[in-house]
Amino acid sequence: MLEIITSINGTINSFVWGPVMLTLLVGTGIYLTIKTGFIQVKWFGYIMKNTVGSLFAKDKKDEDRGSNLTPFQAVTTALAGTVGTGNVAGVTGAIFVGGPGAVFWMWVSAFFGMCTKYAEIALAMKYRITDEKGVHKGGPMYYIENGLGKNWKWLAVIFAILGGLASFGIGNIAQASEIAGAMKGLVGLNPLITGIMLAIVVAFVTIGGVQRIGQVTSYMVPFMAIFYIAAGIIVIIMRIGDIPAVLLNIITSAFSFEAVGGGVFGYAIMVAMKQGFARGVFSNEAGLGSAPIAHAASSEKDPCKQAIWGVFEVFIDTIVICSITAFTVLLSGIELGSEALGAYASKGAAAVYAFNSVLPGTLGGLIIQISLLFFALSTILSWAYYGERCWGYLTNNNKLFDKIYKVIFIAVCVVGATGSGTLMWDISDTLNGMMAIPNLIALLLLSGVVCSMTKDYFKDKK
């Protein structure tokens, strides 16, 4: 029975993360980029100044957010779910299989993904609802139903079901497994004990609601990002003389039409593109519809003002963090290729070897394990909220079901930490990718609304 399920999931997964869907994902980004006038280029300086730059403004004031998140907390909650194991293991695997050229195509997907995520957040903010307690709730399921009309509610339901199911797998089991592995590697802790401790932490944070999740991620995300980025910069500085050669290798490999392993002419570029696009989209989640759920909880009133954080989000996730992983792997000089990857226990182990080959002793492994620990924990906290909102939409925000969901989600932390969860991870990976289908349909149909909002927002900006 398991073999049948594995086979069926493999077939669906090959389509979801295959050429057709990846083309649709990146193509939607290209379409939105053109329609909005390349805002990620034209307004890049303005966006950086008014997102991350605003955090250092002397006259910054804390507005009354009620029961919602501050704009920054909404961003860190979204980044917590976005920056994860894919930034390390996923990028490493893409380079081994697709070669250095995969990095270039990962950058391309991120460039257009900036506009896709901007559009998602803008729509989530515009069509969100506010309950009787003043709490904002939104995401693709709401902008599908409220933006496209009641006749499209079925599509919103499909998204919510996929998102709700994915929260248990890719948002919990897969991450809990990574945490258990990291804790065992760091201090030799038994996976069961790790699972119980994790369940307690997740219970403490999630029972406090979205505000507590936002408070925790607002501290955790900057720390884990700075920690990993700082480690990567050290690696780059230590091999700074090799950077020009690595960059040249990335560009030339991206457009290599040579046959690989006896394959057809041009096979190399196709593999590099597929790996780069897939890992880029999987990492920054532009087009998948998850991050807008967190942004919709922001106390910000202007949809586009919150949406420009989406451009920053993709930039920091893929252009910065994923690139650091990529440069480290390529600067290490380790042998690439699918067969070479098979020599390691996992993609994460290959990343550890790459870091260790540059840094002294086992310092690289320590950095990777600590990073994966925080990456995975932050992802669990964000997906707890994503799942809550998806199931809440399906049950009309029934309070009893909300409590049942949280109890099950907390218990699943122990399951994920003590089991391999390989099949569950694969199924969740498929569900996560399938979320993009209803979301992309809505983005394309509501692109006119996005353009109108964008034009109004930027018309008086300098």
pLDDT class of 345 with cuts at 50, 70, 90: low
- The percentage of residues in the chain with a pLDDT greater than 70, rounded to a whole number, is 92
Q: Is residue 361 predicted with pLDDT exceeding 80? A: no
3-state secondary structure 139-155: CHHHHHHHHHCHHHHHH
Domain ranges of the chain: 70-449
Does this model's pTM top 0.85?
Answer: yes
Q: State pLDDT tens for residues 1-42.
A: 668 888 888 888 888 877 888 888 889 999 999 999 999 999
Mean predicted confidence (pLDDT) in 433-449:
93
- Joined together, the tokens standing for residue 417 give 């930490």
In terms of average pLDDT, the best of 59-73, 119-133, 219-233 is: 119-133
pLDDT class of 416 with cuts at 50, 70, 90: confident
- pLDDT value of residue 149: 93
Nearest to 87 by CA among 284, 274, 322: 322
Mean predicted confidence (pLDDT) in 199-216:
88
Residue 429 CA to residue 388 CA, distance in Å, equals 19
Note whether 88 and 325 are within 8 A (CB): yes
Q: State pLDDT tens for residues 71-90.
A: 888 888 888 888 877 888 88
Residue 244 CA to residue 114 CA, distance in Å, equals 26
- pLDDT value of residue 265: 46
Q: Is residue 305 predicted with pLDDT exceeding 60? A: yes
- Joined together, the tokens standing for residue 226 give 């700075």
Residue 385 CA to residue 302 CA, distance in Å, equals 22
Sequence letter at residue 306 = Q
Mean predicted confidence (pLDDT) in 307-316:
94
Nearest to 116 by CA among 50, 35, 48: 35
Q: Is residue 65 predicted with pLDDT exceeding 70? A: no
- C-alpha 285: how far from chain center: 4
| pLDDT greater at residue 84 or residue 421 | 84
Mean pLDDT score of the chain = 86
CATH number of the domain at 70-449, out of 1.10.3470.10, 1.20.1740.10, 3.30.460.10, 3.40.50.300? 1.20.1740.10
- Joined together, the tokens standing for residue 371 give 């990073």
Residue 25 CA to residue 23 CA, distance in Å, equals 5
Instruction: Tell me the CA end-to-end span of the chain in Å, nearest whole number.
Output: 61
pLDDT class of 264 with cuts at 50, 70, 90: very low
Q: State pLDDT tens for residues 446-459.
A: 999 999 999 999 98
Residue 154 CA to residue 63 CA, distance in Å, equals 37
- pLDDT value of residue 137: 92
Contact partners, residue 106, CB within 8 Å, separation at least 6: 91, 94, 276, 277, 279, 280, 283, 318, 322, 326
Contact partners, residue 461, CB within 8 Å, separation at least 6: 43, 46
- pLDDT value of residue 63: 52
